[in-house]
Amino acid sequence: MPVFLYHHAIMKFKVGTRSSTLSLAQTQDALTRISAILPFVEFKIVPFSSPGDRDQTTDLRDAPADFFSRDLDAAILSGDIDFALHSAKDLPESCAEGIDWFHLPWREDQRDCWVFPQSASGEQLLSRSPVVGISSRRRAEYLKKFFPGAIAKPIRGAIPSRIAQLDSGAYDAIITAGAALNRLGMQDRISRWIPCDELPPPETQGVLAITFRMSDPRVISLRNHFIKAVRFVGAGVGSSSLCTLGGVEDLRHADVCLYDDLMDEALLAHLPDRAMRIHVGKRCGAHSVPQSEINTLISRYARRGLRVVRLRGGEPGLFGRLSEEIEELEKYALPYVVRPGVSALAAATTGAGMLLTRRGISRGFTVMTPRVQGGGTADVSLSQRRNLPMVFFMSVRKLREIADALIADGLPPDTPASIVDNAGGEGERTLRGTLGDIEADGEETAPGLILVGENAKRAYRRDLGA
């Protein structure tokens, strides 16, 4: 179940933000919006300066990544504030140790814009060699391409200060984010919007972000109102028809899909036209994207409030890297849902007539791989097979007999064991214990399985929400 803020008590948060006019305005607006959704939450704004506010001479093109977030990070880690609210583009690519983040859903226009002096004609200015105030390499490159006669000059200061410098004659024009002017109620100073295909804005321009102490349960409970659970979807093997209806439905609502090789790419047709498609597959150990980067992409897009689908070939729990990707989300307490798929095991056996269980021939089977981490080959001898987890179907009523037989055969009584009732159904339930103490609780009528081995004590986190 999702971890939500409880309505029976007022929760109070100290919120840090930079003391600039823009930062205070956008923070107050964002907190007002949150309060409208969560009326049992109260906020106190605590203004801070930052290195970028105190140092008005360094060209922002040469500034350190945490120029506008360093002091707020320190206040979060010291406990002086509960979280900080930023323009997302002011945050470094990787936050400081111990700091986590997420995006709020309210976004302003991403485009940059020209601002001219109120008494000047923009067309006349740009036809000459105007002095243009800029604060990024991106904008400098735009000038060089579209207005090669312009003189790019660094500009610093809060937005009202920049406008004042423009009107005083220090610059002939400036380029800035339209979002800033909109949030300050200065839309009338936008002289001309710049199309995104001429000057592509950063993904995070116009977006607000919250930073907080990693694993802080109160802020995580607030965050869960603004992010969506990641969907891990088994694509099935070979044919798109072997993906579940639940998986297809997840694809239909995705904002981002990270997908593998060895799957039917017809499934991608279910994605909305706007959805990002990111190929992260591998063949024979050759990764198009390293696993660590895949993990980072999944958690990053989830924190941005996007609907993320990780589409994995076959059944993701069998010889895949599902555990690593889920551990990444659990590290940040990000919610997720897993949709199993039809595996190559089922397709190659049940689908081909080589049934793994037949009356009078076989009552079970062993599944393992000789491949190990790093590409080597491992032992597949009987001694190794004896250490594999065991699954017993249609066995719950014989639980004690099975457990006693396994103990008599040499397995320690403290070997983990679990009973799963109605697996995959609405009333799915798991009972955990060891071979020595596990018991079925009463008359079992739902389909049940017994799992024995170290794997039996593992589980997905169910407290993160869906």
**Among 228-232, 281-285, 346-350, 415-419, whose mean pLDDT is lowest?**
281-285
Residue 249 is predicted with a pLDDT of 97
Q: What is the mean pLDDT of residues 209-226?
A: 96
pLDDT-derived band at 1, boundaries 50, 70, 90: very low
Residue 81 is predicted with a pLDDT of 98
Helix (H, G, I), strand (E, B) or coil at 350: helix
Q: What is the mean pLDDT of residues 339-361?
A: 81
Distance CA 456, CA 431 (A): 10
Q: Where are the alpha helices (DSSP H) in 270-343?
A: 291-303, 322-331
Residue 73 is predicted with a pLDDT of 98
Task: Write out pLDDT tens, residues 398-425.
Answer: 889 989 999 998 889 999 998 888 776 7
Shortest CA distance to 388 belongs to which of 406, 413, 362? 406
Distance (Å) of CA 35 to CA 3, 93, 205, 303: 18, 29, 24, 20
Distance CA 181, CA 159 (A): 8
For residue 9, pLDDT beyond 70? yes
Token pair of 110 as six digits: 């991403």
Residue 385 is predicted with a pLDDT of 76
Q: Which residue has the higher pLDDT, 369 or 45?
A: 45
Residue 442 is predicted with a pLDDT of 62
Residue 443 is predicted with a pLDDT of 55
For residue 3, pLDDT beyond 60? no
Q: Which residue has the higher pLDDT, 37 or 379?
A: 37
Helix (H) or strand (E) holding 416: strand 416-421
Residue 126 is predicted with a pLDDT of 76
Residue 2 is predicted with a pLDDT of 46
Distance (Å) of CA 6 to CA 3, 39, 188, 220: 9, 11, 42, 13
Percent of the chain past pLDDT 70, that is, above it, reads 94
For residue 341, pLDDT beyond 60? yes
Are 76 and 196 in contact, with CB atoms under 8 Å apart? no
Residue 355 is predicted with a pLDDT of 80
Shortest CA distance to 204 belongs to which of 108, 279, 309, 326? 108
State how far Cα 153 lies from the chain centre: 38
User: Which residues are bridge partners to 236 per DSSP?
Assistant: 314
Task: Write out pLDDT tens, residues 88-102.
Answer: 999 999 999 999 999
Q: What is the mean pLDDT of residues 247-262?
A: 95
Helix (H) or strand (E) holding 47: strand 41-48
- DSSP per residue, 163-228: HHHHHTTS-SEEEEEHHHHHHTT-GGG--EE--TTTSPPPTTTT-EEEEEETT-HHHHHHHTTT--
Strand 83-87 relative to strand 286-287: parallel, antiparallel, unpaired? unpaired
Q: What is the mean pLDDT of residues 337-354?
A: 82
**Among 1-5, 49-53, 192-196, 295-299, whose mean pLDDT is lowest?**
1-5
Q: What is the mean pLDDT of residues 34-45?
A: 95
Shortest CA distance to 463 belongs to which of 363, 334, 359, 341? 334
Q: Which residue has the higher pLDDT, 88 or 344?
A: 88
Distance CA 84, CA 71 (A): 10
Contacting residues for 424 by C-beta, under 8 A, at least 6 apart: 340
Q: Which residue has the higher pLDDT, 430 or 218?
A: 218
Q: State phi, psi for 241 to the nearest 5 degrees.
A: -65, -15
Average predicted confidence (pLDDT) for the chain: 89
Angle between helices 21-37 and 159-167 (to 10 degrees): 140
Task: Write out pLDDT tens, residues 294-325.
Answer: 999 999 999 999 999 999 988 888 877 899 99
Task: Write out pLDDT tens, residues 180-192.
Answer: 999 999 999 999 9
Q: What is the mean pLDDT of residues 17-31?
A: 96
Q: Which residue has the higher pLDDT, 138 or 444?
A: 138
